[in-house]
Amino acid sequence: MRTGTVSNVQTARGYNPYTGERGAGYERSAVNPRTGASGTVARGATYNPETGTMNRAAAGSVNDPKAGVSATGQRDTATNAYGERASESSGSIDDTRTGQSASYRTASVGNDHYADVNGNVYKNTGSGWEKNTGSGWESAKPEESSSMDREQQARSDGEDRASSFDRGGFDRGSFEDPRMGGFRGRR
């Protein structure tokens, strides 16, 4: 059965011969003209051989006007030449039928620092969670620790999914394409 869905895919690659910096990305979008439901996903990456820095970004959105629901999300990650990583994620969901909406924003450095929607920063010491008070670190309250445990598990699950997707989609391996100069980055 045909759905009537119309889709569009755009890709781009770039190379700066003066710096050696390379980049690639794509965007996919689809819309069902009968229902009005639509979605978009975009991913991109750059690598700078002078600094050893790799930047990756991904974003997506879905909208179903008949159901009254829309959602967006994004993640940006930077990795330096030593493999140290920092990332930021955000997203939102809106339900026009109920008037409810929710959003989140988190950040991490080395996957052990977390920020909540109120701007509180936590770190995992390996033996528990600590909260930054502005003048130092103190033990997090049990409910804060429980929340951070859930966030840590969600990140772990997300990393597993992203890793699984990378094996079949856009990942650093795309830079090893001979048409891009045969670059093989640090892993």
In this predicted structure, what is the pLDDT of residue 27?
A: 94
In this predicted structure, what is the pLDDT of residue 111?
A: 56
In this predicted structure, what is the pLDDT of residue 70?
A: 92
Quick check: 42 pLDDT over 60?
yes
Lowest mean pLDDT among 37-51, 59-73, 143-157: 143-157
Tokens of residue 11, six digits: 């890709």
In this predicted structure, what is the pLDDT of residue 8?
A: 87
Rounded Cα distance, 3 and 69, in Å: 20
Q: Which helix (H) or strand (E) holds 162?
A: helix 142-168
The answer to whether 61 and 40 have CB atoms below 8 angstroms apart is yes
Closest C-alpha among 10, 21, 70, 15 to residue 43? 10
Confidence tier at 174 by pLDDT (50, 70, 90): very low
Whether the full predicted model's pTM is greater than 0.75, yes or no, is: no
What digits encode the pLDDT tens for the residues 54-109? 999 999 999 999 888 999 999 888 888 877 778 888 888 899 888 888 887 777 76
The answer to whether 151 and 114 have CB atoms below 8 angstroms apart is yes
What digits encode the pLDDT tens for the residues 97-147? 888 888 877 777 665 667 666 667 788 888 888 888 878 889 999 888 888
In this predicted structure, what is the pLDDT of residue 25?
A: 94
Tokens of residue 19, six digits: 């710096």
Q: Which helix (H) or strand (E) holds 10?
A: strand 6-15
Across residues 163-182, what is the average pLDDT?
Answer: 42
In this predicted structure, what is the pLDDT of residue 175?
A: 39
